[in-house]
Structure 1
Amino acid sequence: MTSFLRSDRSRAVAIWLFAVAVLVMAMVVVGGSTRLTGSGLSITQWRPVTGAVPPLSLAEWQAEFARYKTIPQYQLVNRGMTLDQFKGIYWWEWTHRLLGRLVGFAFFAPFVIFAWRKEIPQRLLLRLGGLFILGGLQGLVGWWMVASGLAHRVSVAPERLMIHLGLAFALLGALVWTALDAWAGGARQTLPGPWGRRALGLVGLIFLQVLLGALVAGNHAGLVYNDWPLMNGQVFPADYAGPGIWATLAHSQGAVQLHHRLVAYLLTGVAIACGIGAWRSTYLADDAKRLALAVTAAVLLQAGLGVVTLIAVAPVGLSLAHQVMAAVTLCLAVAFAWRVRRV
């Protein structure tokens, strides 16, 4: 066979991409654990290759610990920490970075094999190249985020955390969409009516809510205003405004939590309307309708989980469940948006 294209679809390629998506979701979970345990700044160097090997001797552990002692987080928050306590936070960050390397390997190695065997649909080649670049960018942004907390802060900059998490969710959604394309083949037809736009709009709204949630996490805003539906008994938070527009939008605890709440209300209403409209639609297939209802249910569950997490003052378990549910909700919305654009 002389052509690179063997078939317009490949179930093996689809399974591979779904598996990589699962690894990205695992990275989201471990990344959330790293943030919630205050572990993200424990490794103060970026060594993409040699950093895969952790300290193997007491001297190496002491050298790592000595580097950590030079940053503000140790000096202002963790002063007096023992070496064993340092190891506890170090392993979280090391695992997070190891998963990043594993995702890169799990994408690149099978890609080479599938390409050599000519099993990748030709229409997906450029997209897969873009996904590889997006994954590499995610690693660079991750270090850029960590670097923001090594000199003048005791945690990473919230806006950099937002970009880092946003790229992870964008990669997750793109992997799911591409996997579905590989599974089903290239024949598609946009359905009559506005469902394609509605579904993509719902994906965009969920993604926006993820970004706002990252700002809440980055500002530790889940630890304040822990009543609902009011905010310390008020409709509008007393400390909403910061010293400027950017300080308000990205760094005010009251503002970022209020924005996250407001978009949650909007998203919940849109998801319910979308679910009802899809179920009544005469254009959508039954599986598309079921996906729409699944997205609606996921949004409602995520909203309830968010309220419970807030009232409980953001314990680690609930916070991680909230983050995982956000990833599940986005994946379901992407699957729905993909499905309504096909006959």
Structure 2
Amino acid sequence: MATTAQSPVSLDRQRESPARPLALARWLELVALMIVVIVAVGGITRLTESGLSITQWQPVTGILPPLDQAAWEVEFAEYRATPEYRFEASAGGMTLAEFKFIYFWEWFHRVIGRLIGLAYALPLAWFWMKGAIPRGYKPRLFALLGLGALQGTIGWLMVRSGLSGQMTDVSHFWLSVHLLTALFTLGGLVWTALDLRRLARDPAARPASLTAASLAVAIVVFMQLLLGAWVAGLNAGHAAYDWPLMNGRLVPEIDWSGGFWWTLTHDPFLLHFLHRWWAWIAVAALVWIARRVRKAERRASIAVHSAFGTMVILGIATVMSGVSLWIAVAHQLTGALLVASLAWAMHADGVRQRATAD
């Protein structure tokens, strides 16, 4: 019986077997969903002033909360030594029950972070040992692991920024780095999962490329997310409760006495104003990218439109409700969904460009 000689490409694919791109994609999508959840919980943690309730970073033993009254008293005493308690919370007093409430949200936030680390690292190790990772994807998957580890370190540096000196909150700079790193990781997970889904459908498919158009939109949205993080970190959402005016004015009164750069990065009225109106530039950019990919990936276009439309409505509602906890959290949650939707649209644009070039 005659045999057919196998090409070098076929032999290479056999040696890579059993690559499981669809299983990998589903795993990354699950981790991405967990990041969306932790972004929402992080919003609750910030809005309830819970972030400084745990004053130590204990990656292993910290997974357990205090288990008896004596342990709770120790934790409460450590919190009472923080600038936040001395200069703010102590004025109205705080009961142990109230402390337990804020402690829960910070503890829950940290536990979810640990679970995300395990949900990523353990399957990655398993897929790696089984030889199930397609060629070219190991560096990217390892980089995403590194981002996760970096995020934990950034989170602790953020908390530490509020535990020393005279600050009664964490630094809004560290807060923005913490949030934006999480959102960048989310986008990376979505993009990689989409590449792997294409690979599952077509073994010859190549990763999508980043287009100049997509990069431009991402920069515009990045600026809006950065402003939003600074608004949250400085409690600048409370600068005005009316819309579209701010305290009855189109342009609020801004104190420039601290200098241009200090005012640009610290003044709550200016940052609130910029966050409101840069949003419309971001909307224009998002409409443009959504229409650009509508024929190539209609679902991504719909997702982008839905996300930014909902986010704008929730942003206005957050202001007019006096920064209602759950509306503000929904606003931040939608921001994470917007990032995932934008990554989907940017990926579709990259696929479209690569197909045109080929």
Superposition TM-score, scaled by structure 2 size: 0.88
Match of 1:87, SS? helix
The equivalences for 1:256-275 within 5 A come to 256-275=271-290
Match of 1:187 among 205, 224, 234: 205
- CA deviation after TM superposition for structure 1 residue 135, in Å: 0.6
Give 2:173's aligned residue. Answer: 159
Q: CA separation in 1, counterparts of 2:60 and 2:78?
A: 19
Match of 2:315 among 290, 306, 311: 306
Checking the alignment, whether the CA contact within 8 Å between 2:19 and 2:132 is kept in structure 1 is no
Distance 1:242 1:289, change over 3 A: farther
Q: Identical aligned pairs, as a percentage? A: 39
Give 2:301's aligned residue. Answer: 292
1:255-292, Cα deviation, whole Å (9 max, x unpaired) = 1112212210101122233444554xxxx42xx23422
Give 1:138's aligned residue. Answer: 151
**Larger deviation: 294-303 or 269-278?**
269-278
**Larger deviation: 87-96 or 253-262?**
253-262
Q: Residue type of the partner of 2:26?
A: I
Q: CA separation in 2, counterparts of 1:69 and 1:124?
A: 48
Match of 1:340, SS? helix
Distance 1:273 1:184, change over 3 A: closer
Match of 1:29, SS? helix
Match of 1:341, SS? helix
Q: CA separation in 2, counterparts of 1:84 and 1:190?
A: 52
Give 1:121's aligned residue. Answer: 134
1:215-239, Cα deviation, whole Å (9 max, x unpaired) = 0001111111222222222222202
Q: CA separation in 1, counterparts of 2:24 and 2:190?
A: 12
Q: CA separation in 1, counterparts of 2:64 and 2:260?
A: 43
Give 2:249's aligned residue. Answer: 234
- CA deviation after TM superposition for structure 1 residue 78, in Å: 1.7
Distance 1:163 1:173, change over 3 A: same
**Larger deviation: 177-186 or 12-21?**
177-186
1:60-106, Cα deviation, whole Å (9 max, x unpaired) = 11111111111111112222211121111111101111111111111
Q: CA separation in 2, counterparts of 1:83 and 1:248?
A: 38
Q: CA separation in 2, counterparts of 1:217 and 1:44?
A: 21
- CA deviation after TM superposition for structure 1 residue 200, in Å: 3.1
- CA deviation after TM superposition for structure 1 residue 245, in Å: 3.3
Q: CA separation in 2, counterparts of 1:4 and 1:206?
A: 42
1:106-156, Cα deviation, whole Å (9 max, x unpaired) = 111001111111111121100111111111111111011111111221111
Give 1:47's aligned residue. Answer: 58
**Larger deviation: 32-41 or 45-54?**
45-54
Q: Is 1:23 aligned with 2:28?
A: no
Q: CA separation in 1, counterparts of 2:224 and 2:231?
A: 10
Give 2:115's aligned residue. Answer: 102
Instruction: Report the structure number with the largest CA radius of gyration.
Output: 2
Q: CA separation in 2, counterparts of 1:4 and 1:34?
A: 48
| Matched pairs, number | 334
Q: CA separation in 1, counterparts of 2:234 and 2:15?
A: 49
Checking the alignment, whether the CA contact within 8 Å between 1:242 and 1:252 is kept in structure 2 is no
Q: Residue type of the partner of 2:327?
A: L
Give 2:45's aligned residue. Answer: 34
Give 1:72's aligned residue. Answer: 83
Structure 1 gap ranges (5+): none
Give 1:199's aligned residue. Answer: 214
Q: CA separation in 2, counterparts of 1:35 and 1:277?
A: 36
Q: CA separation in 2, counterparts of 1:265 and 1:30?
A: 27
